[in-house]
A = this chain, B = another copy of it.
Amino acid sequence: MIVILKNGVQREKRDQLVDWLKEQGLGIHVSEGEFQTVLGLIGDVSNVDMELIGSLGIVDSVKRVSESFKCCNRKFHPEDTVVEVGGVKVGGGHFAMIAGPCSVESEEQIVAVAKAVKASGADMMRGGAFKPRTSPYDFQGLKATGIELLKLARAETGLPIVTEIMSVSHLPLFEDVDVIQVGARNMQNFDLLRELGKIRKPILLKRGLANTLKELLMSAEYIMAGGNEQVILCERGIRTFDDYTRNTLDLAAVPMLHELTHLPVIVDPSHATGIARLVRPMALAAAACGSDGLIIEVHNDPLHALCDGAQSLRPEEYDALARDVAVVRGVVNQ
């Protein structure tokens, strides 16, 4: 850790700070420049409160030289993590297509969609049983029943299932789920993350609406510090001043995360844009910039078929997209 002092700090104040840091068991290397003094903190700085030091009157800024994330840091694990779900692999050159409806609505619906996306080569199936809704008056999902219906669809198709958890107390219901999703709104629900670190099941961790990449990695770290190393990261759009799409899909996060971490990174173009017409171009773009997979909403609802469709694709649209994604991936990987 490096502490940069303000110009013209009194020697006495500086020495008080150095003494206080030494009391915390650190070695201090003082480097006096023409214009400023820099303190290099040597030893275990993991418990040093950066914000506190940065706020001191004599300190200009503090810089952590070694990142605070360890388990997910590519520096310490240069090889890609490959997450395995049933026979499906994600990461390390393996690309996963995850598809299905926003909400599980009925056996008929989820089985039909699962069969359709399976026919188009999907690797896993998604479907919401517990739905986080802004309003307490909106449909909150079929809950336990929804999970049972997902299992039925899995039995019919063999596709592993991905579904979202909203509370630690529901964990027993997820015992037979293949991948547990943590939604954007729960990315910093630290108690939930800690509990998910205790199990041994892949976690799909979505980036929060206003969270930096470092915060996303620190949340992965909560899970991994508990011993569960099977984490898939997901970019799904951030909140900006832009109002023409629901969120702003931040695709540069994909190559940047690949630099910072060895974990697989997938993209959700459906929630990012909220507009079905934009799912195809954004899915192709995600494949082109190196994402390790896509999670896409597909429905077979007659109203949608009739008119156009919110953010969900119809099965035939998904089918065409899946083929083109494969071709783009082929080009990029050559």
Contact = CB atoms under 8 A, between A and B. Distances in A.
A274 B51 contact: yes
A192 B221 CA distance: 23
B255 A307 contact: no
Interface stretch (A79-87, A89-97, A114-122, A165-173): A165-173
Contacts of A192: 167
Interface stretch (A145-153, A154-162, A198-206, A235-243): A235-243
Interface string A186-201: 1011111010000000
Interface residue tally of chain A, by bracket? 35 or more
Contacts of A191: 166-167, 169
A106 interface: no
Interface string A241-284: 11111001111111110010000000000001111111001101
B51 A42 contact: no
B137 A68 contact: yes
Interface string A48-70: 01011011111011010110110
A278 B306 contact: no
16 contacts: A2-B36, A13-B307, A16-B306, A33-B40, A34-B43, A36-B40, A55-B311, A136-B194, A167-B192, A252-B272, A252-B273, A252-B282, A255-B277, A281-B290, A285-B285, A285-B289
